[in-house]
Structure 1
Amino acid sequence: MPTALITGATSGLGAAFARRLAADAYSLVLVSRDELRLAQVADQLKLRYGVSVEVLPADLATDDGLARVESRLRDGVDLLVNNAGFGHPGRFPEVPVEEEVRMLKVHCEAVLRLTLAVLPGMKERDGGAVINVSSMAAFYTRGTYSASKAWVLNFSESAASEVGNPRIKIMALCPGFVRTEFHQRAAMDTSGIPGFLWLKADAVVRAAMRDLAVGKRVSIPGLRYKAIVALSRLIPRSVQARVSARIGR
């Protein structure tokens, strides 16, 4: 039975990945800061799918939390889903530097370190996969969030080309607006976002797993978002920046 480790596993895309992989008979290792909620989610998955579920409470913004997850990954997993992340409600100059650094720690350093921790075991077993959750924001310019997600996208594509084993897949997942707790937790006003731009978490995960299976290095769920990315490549960066700033307000 294959094993998957998912960060940010108690809600949103992380929880959707957990449900999908449990249904596919993966043993799960769930990582989150919220120990109580982690235990509740694990119990639900065990009851519904009858799979083994291990919980690993860890704050990926801390060295201790990262070290705990790195240690578990070195024991061997077949699929790593780097999903943990968060947003800021404020504009770039207004966000406290401590929070900006925390975001870089979770979005960038954690993705780097956990990917590096899992790869030796995958190379030894001659196979495995890593899904790094980026964002549509990676294609635009909007503060530290989009910058950090652009790093995830670039890193994933670079790692995929340099890992040196076609049986080890590394993919960046770049969803648009998804119906999760993400925006509520970040105290973001989403009332102006058109309904047709919203995606369901389970649908995003289905698209991601399908794209991973066929070896894509970048997964963009939804035809509407594929079109948006294609259009963005035709627009000058200066214009993109102005549009992103207006949408953000």
Structure 2
Amino acid sequence: MKTNIDEIRAVAQDLISILQKEKTLIRINTNDALIIGDTHGDVDTTVDGLGYGSDIYVFLGDYVDRGPYQIENIVELMHAKVEEPSKIILLRGNHETPSMNFGYGFYDVVSRRFGRGAYGIFAEVFAHLPLACIINDRMLLLHGGIPDNITRIEEIESIKRPEEEVTDPVAFQILWNDPTYYVDEFSSSPRGVGAKLFGRKALIRFLQTNNLEILIRAHEPVSKGYEYMFDKKLLTIFSCRYYGIKPCAARIKNNSINIQYL
């Protein structure tokens, strides 16, 4: 794996050229996809996932911060995307932003290894990452949750990229929102200003309006590595072993979802 900063910069530029051609909302059709949640510097899980043998791989964001191999993890994913751009989909998580990277470790890790100016290489990549993916017109994949300020899924397509610090309110909620059993609709989130909690009624309405069957997201550690909610209309996947959780993925095979441990 290349960890020389000049080589990383070259890979980043190749990757940005690819990401610029991708839409903010990606639509794919496949009989075999592997969905991987937060990895947070868990490069072993990333490598294991990429070796699984699926036709398509969708990573749901949060590649850096917290874990011990943050640079290795994101560089592994950058290489994978450049080498097989149609096979690898990298979505953005809330930790692919400068405000989180300054507070949770990635900026410091990069600065110590390569110097303070190097972080901008990664920040530019993060700014170009798409926000959501729809598989087989049935399954919506994103990092956090549905936003309260849109009705139609097509509205995600109009979100402008690149944006290093996410200020668009729809994009912000996609990265930050969480499901809850305690409200039916939307409410404020303990995560802070701009983030929301959403309930069963809000999710079901959004899915029905857009002819979708399920939301698959990441963003929260769950004890088994996965958790269904709302009569299996929502699935949370978490893939980082450093939380004391066995890394988990969801395999989509002929429109069926199977839980896989990595």
- Would you call these one fold, judging by a TM-score over 0.5? no
What range is the shorter-chain TM-score in?
Answer: 0.3 to 0.5
* TM-score in terms of structure 1 length: 0.34
More helix by share: 1
More strand by share: 2
* TM-score in terms of structure 2 length: 0.33
